[in-house]
Amino acid sequence: MENAIRPCALGKKNWMFIGDVGAGQYAATLYSLLGSCLRRGINPRDYLSWLLDRLPLATNLTVHTLTPASYKAKLIEA
């Protein structure tokens, strides 16, 4: 467990003066997304590239298809 939170703990000092009040929430969201990729054995860089290609066309009804779990399912299908 300690090794899992080490990157976040080491970055705290660097992120203290990030400049925006909501930056902590954004960072937590990004860490959760990338952590989900790692748990599923997905390369985070490949997933983010795939996600950023599709995100501009997503709607409220289709955004659920852009999760790491959906990405992995599409990889298995292909």
Q: pLDDT tens digits for 41-76?
A: 999 999 999 999 999 999 999 999 999 999 999 998
Q: pTM for the complete prediction?
A: 0.74
What element of type H or E holds 3?
Answer: helix 2-15
Q: Please state, in angstroms and rounded to a whole number, the distance separating the CA atoms of residues 1 and 6.
A: 9
What is the pLDDT confidence band of residue 14, given thresholds at 50, 70 and 90? low
